[in-house]
Structure 1
């Protein structure tokens, strides 16, 4: 082992420099600077190169993290990139948006006592350097094969599958109902976490490699699922989940109460230069308004930090549990607090107040306390008697999570079966739905989850699609069906 490793005993953890909160409130640029070569090598050298790398074990992609940390510490960046890209379709995106504090870094063996290795920042540095140096190549196959796949959805799962199959010589066509490639990476995640050119350059690279993109195409309206099945050897459904969970409280129909994704999409479209009437009218613009965001996940953090940058008069996050029990990244909470967001912990909405014009004027909420654990081990929340209060608001954003849309109805294919949560049912080994030759992956199967899990599912689905089509080709009776 190189002597330069195991330096955690003498070097402290250092994260990339972060722009001052007062400065970053005024724009949507990414808040973290890139590591210098010296800093990246230094921080990589803190890795203990442990025999059982829990960082890899707890990464959904099982990235070979200790290997590329060692190569970075030795200055062998092109090799580090090759190792990173071997298991991860979008390492530059995961380095930016993954909740490393809950995954790789949170399970680093030196975390207790020495602080973890800054894995995400090094991952971002490696791949950004690779782009700058021209090491990131389009997934051009060495040999074309006479096989075709249609992929519904241009988000993380769909793109990961597209890249993997195209590299193996397949003809790949990706269908998406939106006008840009990327799914929630383009319209759901704000620029201060993921600047859009990082996503758009992947689109350009994949198009150069021969992947065909059919945008503004809604399956079930512009083309049927049956038509795609006739056109392609296999079809992959990777639509994600976009249906916002609602809150059935009194006054929920007042104007000024909006779903999180509508709000974030308007902001991202405006940043991309699109005409967004709802933003211009103020319906989805927080400028000068008292904003209350309901929820405690990463989407809620995206909303509160976006509202700050839009010039909101005040921004408050209502969450029914405490800070230690929130599902979102604590790193994002810290960034939000620095930027001026106020958190009202242990607060649950009960209803909404409105003015004479039918616009929301406040959120009726009640103080909560944590009770006994439920069957999952998580503490239940219970209201405090006489703990009601009113939180003034001109704009309320509901960040309560996402559910699947009714795909059997949308796609006009009743043979697609769903779980009790509305997600598509698949065979857990083959990843195939109840419709022969139609596979599904990502959030539409798993439920709302992380980008990194979408990548994992898309890569796995590509492998299963290839096995299925090869088996059919080798069995005349199946091929004739």
Structure 2
């Protein structure tokens, strides 16, 4: 019996139960409970099944959201997972960390007057149910191909491409300099947003499906590294999916003081502790316990830092952002969670200088006002005269964004063309770089962005690699004939 849809007029929106702020401050476990089956069915039935599904339009992957919501409402969960996974390689990850309030849910047509459908929570429920019931299987190609593809980077773009290429039968080898698969999914995103066994579960499936991982393998000319030239020689095609890891530096007087740390270094140290790793001596100071913490920035990385500091037992945690709440690039849901957990936000404030002799003791900041739109279309910010104030700080974390590493120089490959921002130049349709048979996808092409965009790029790059290898093989055959 089918379940009637369009229940948004009679059923209120409900998110999964969220643990209390007092409870979740004490650990790094995910803060949301899973939906119960009846809750997921009821929430999915709120979908209006509109003729133009803006939730799908504004999803980078173009997920068929109304279709799998309807199937969920009807209790046909295995079919719902089949539809969801047809366009999304990792729906259980997107359901947890996508900023749905800025994408699918933020575009839901029932939002004026009614709250949007809880798309992310239903997506997570459907996929977790699929894993529990054994519906998620490793890739199983119809036939094996002799050609091999090398992928540099085991983050979301690289893993999505590996999955798609292995399904086509290619011999897929993934190289990553870190000791675990996942990239920023493991070392950048805290466990309270994405528990690491979720990523490890996908890693195991890819291994079962025949993807070969070379972990702890850097690319370059240093000790133990594999040269880029040798890597190209091993494979018929390469995909560069390294992401962007170079933290943007903070300037100003006192910026070189001890205690001013980069966001990624801080988050990596915290995640490694949670994973049980022994940290090197230089990383021991990357702990907020008992400290007054000031985080600079307004994106999701800044939110990860402030919420991590709370869990580490910081004395106080403040977030300094030069624009107001409405102009903050991070998820509004994350800001709300941070405020519940005890984070204080200093809106319209920017650092002027860092105080201290050898170690930071405070941040001198000034109040800002919003001005006219700048070249990017966003309102410019201007300091207010005489508005300086000082925040006590034992630990300052700069979460100002990330830039790409200079891969052409690091890999001794000057023919690998890069943009003036350091990202790799690619053909917009094929994802091929300036080097034949070498492709690139994800943040190393588009700059620091969302995981869902990396998944999309990885999937599309895999298709382009497949088409290029087939065309190349046909050209070689024609030459020999």
Question: What TM-score range do you get, normalising by the shorter chain?
Answer: over 0.9
The correspondence of residues 103-114 of structure 1 with structure 2, limited to 5 A, is 103-114=103-114
**CA distance in structure 1 between the partners assigned to 2:72 and 2:250 by the alignment:** 48
In the TM superposition, residue 377 of structure 1 has moved relative to its aligned partner by 3.0
The unaligned stretches of length 5 or more in structure 1 are: none
CA drift of 1:247 comes to 1.2
Q: Which residue of 1 aligns with 2:249?
A: 246
In structure 2, the partner of 1:84 is 84
**Cα shift at 1:374:** 2.3
The answer (yes or no) to whether the contact 1:270–1:279 under 8 Å persists in 2 is no
Aligned match of 2:379: 379
Counterpart Cα distance in 2 of 1:326 and 1:2: 42
Partner of 2:199: 199
Deviation at 1:478, TM superposition (A): 8.7
SS at match of 1:364: strand
Partner of residue 159, structure 1: 159
Matching residue of 2:365: 365
Query: Structure 2: how far apart are the matches of 1:458 and 1:130?
Result: 23
Is the contact between residue 41 and residue 75 of structure 1 (CA under 8 Å) also seen in structure 2? yes
Normalised by the length of structure 1, the TM-score is 0.97
269-278 or 69-78, which moves further after superposition?
A: 269-278
Assess, with a 3 A threshold, how the Cα gap between structure 1 residues 469 and 160 changes in structure 2: closer, same or farther.
same
Q: Offset at 1:67? A: 0.3
| Aligned-partner Cα distance in 1 for 2:298–2:75 | 40
In 2, Cα distance between equivalents of 1:257 and 1:280: 13
Report if aligned partners of 2:3, 2:74 keep a CA contact under 8 Å in 1.
Answer: no
Helix, strand or coil for the counterpart of 2:100? coil
Note if contact 2:60-2:452 (Cα within 8 Å) is conserved in structure 1. yes
- SS class of match (1:172): strand
Question: Which residue of structure 2 lines up, in the alignment, with residue 352 of structure 1?
Answer: 354
| Correspondence for 1:397 | 397
Residue 144 of structure 1: aligned partner = 144
User: What secondary structure sits across from 2:217 in the alignment?
Assistant: coil
SS of the residue corresponding to residue 418 of structure 1 reads coil
**CA distance in structure 1 between the aligned counterparts of 2:112 and 2:479, rounded to whole angstroms:** 56
The structural deviation recorded for 1:230 is: 1.2
Q: Deviations over 1:448-475 (max 9, x none)?
A: 0000000000000000001111111111
Q: Distance in 2 between matches of 1:446 and 1:375?
A: 19
Q: Is the 2:148–2:235 contact (alpha carbons within 8 Å) kept by the matching residues of 1?
A: yes
The alpha carbon displacement at 1:307 in A equals 0.2
How many Å apart are 1:378 and its aligned residue? 1.7
Aligned to 1:290: 292
2:101 is paired with a residue of what secondary structure? coil
What is residue 230 of structure 1 aligned with on the other side? 233
The worse-fitting range, judged by mean Cα deviation, of 201-210 and 253-262 is: 201-210
How many angstroms apart in 1 are the aligned matches of 2:404 and 2:99?
Answer: 23
Q: How far did 1:444 drift?
A: 0.1
Question: How many angstroms does 1:372 deviate by?
Answer: 1.6
Assess, with a 3 A threshold, how the Cα gap between structure 1 residues 298 and 134 changes in structure 2: closer, same or farther: same
Deviation at 1:231, TM superposition (A): 1.1
Could you tell me which runs of 5 or more consecutive residues in structure 2 were left unpaired when the two chains were aligned. none
How far did 1:439 drift? 0.3
CA RMSD of aligned residues (A): 1.3
1:272 aligned partner: 275
Asked if structure 2 preserves the Cα contact closer than 8 Å seen for 1:6 and 1:49, the reply is yes
What is the CA distance between 1:476 and its match in structure 2?
A: 2.3
The aligned residue for residue 302 of structure 1 is: 304
Deviation of 1:375 (Å): 3.6
Q: Which residue of 1 aligns with 2:28?
A: 28
Residues 267, 279 of structure 1: 8 Å contact kept? no
Tell me which residue corresponds to 1:323: 325
CA contact (8 A) 1:266 1:278 kept: no
Contact kept? 1:156, 1:455, Cα under 8 Å: yes
Output the CA distance in 1 between the equivalents of 2:445 and 2:283.
Answer: 36
CA distance in 2, matches of 1:140, 1:262: 38
Give me the whole-angstrom Cα distance separating, in 2, the residues matched to 1:431 and 1:380: 34
Instruction: Report the equivalent of 2:446.
Output: 446
Aligned to 1:458: 458
Runs of 4+ in structure 1 deviating by more than 4 angstroms, as ranges, are 477-480
**Gap change, CA 1:55 and 1:300, over 3 Å in 2:** same
User: What is the DSSP-based 3-state SS (H/G/I as helix, E as strand, rest coil) of the residue aligned with 2:414?
Assistant: coil
Q: Which residue of 1 aligns with 2:9?
A: 9
State whether residues 473 and 479 of structure 1, in contact with CA within 8 Å, keep that contact through their aligned partners in structure 2.
no
The answer as to whether partners of 2:3 and 2:73 remain within 8 angstroms in 1 is: no
Tell me if structure 2 keeps the 8 A contact 1:472–1:478: no
C-alpha distance in 2 between matches for 1:342 and 1:279:
28
Structure 2: distance between partners of 1:297 and 1:32? 21
| Alpha-carbon distance in structure 2 between the residues aligned to 1:378 and 1:66 | 33
What is the DSSP-based 3-state SS (H/G/I as helix, E as strand, rest coil) of the residue aligned with 2:350?
A: strand
